[in-house]
Amino acid sequence: MKKLLIVTLLLFTFQQGFSQKIDKAKMQAMYDAIKAAGIRHPDFVMAQCMQETGNLNCKKCCLRYHNLFGFYVKGNKCKKFESDEECIEYYKKWQDKRYDNWRKKYPKADYYHFLKYVKYATGDKYTAELKPKVAWVKKNLSL
């Protein structure tokens, strides 16, 4: 009973924190930019953006360098971009370089599998963090 209460409290706290501070118009504009770039699975990619940037609100993450997706370079430093558009273009090229080979090898797998396969996601924890954000995108944004 005690465990159930703790889990319920944690879920409630997570959902409250997740649902607060989300500027829907800002999210829609970012989603539209991702989609316009021709990126595959834009709902998942938008969820990645939300995860990596604290819903486009973080102050101490790679967002200050227009890094929307948490890309790193040698020395574990944030990759720097001149603009959000440049970062979105980079993601498109990054995805294109890896996607077709993965899809041929795993034709029925989902995008969560792709992120693990290319070592963007390091484990199941990232998938678990991404799933509610993908659901939020599908529910709240015009796809």
pLDDT tens across 57-71, in order?
Answer: 998 889 999 999 999
Number of domains in the chain: 1
Q: Which tokens hold the place of 12?
A: 């409630």
Residue 54 lies in a domain: yes
CATH of the domain at 53: 1.10.530.10
pLDDT surpasses 70 at 2:
no
pLDDT at 11 over 60: no
Does 1 reside within a domain? no
Question: Quick count: other Cβ atoms within 10 Å of Cβ 80?
Answer: 14
Torsion sign, CA atoms 9, 138, 51, 55:
negative
What is the pLDDT at residue 75?
Answer: 85
pLDDT band, very low/low/confident/very high, at 108 (cuts 50, 70, 90): very high
> Per the domain annotation, does 113 fall within a domain?
yes
What secondary structure letter does DSSP report for 81? -
Mean pLDDT for all residues in the chain = 88
Position 42 in a domain: yes
pLDDT in tens, 19-58: 457 899 999 999 999 999 999 999 999 999 999 999 999 9
* pLDDT band, residue 7 (cuts 50/70/90): very low
The answer to the question of residue 92 being in a domain is yes
pLDDT-derived band at 90, boundaries 50, 70, 90 = very high
Question: Is residue 2 included in any domain, yes or no?
Answer: no
**pTM for this prediction:** 0.83
| pLDDT surpassing 80 at residue 126 | yes
- Full residue range of the structural domain in which residue 127 is found: 23-140
Integer CA distances (angstroms), 15 to 50, 75, 98, in order: 14, 34, 33
Mean pLDDT of 62-88: 94
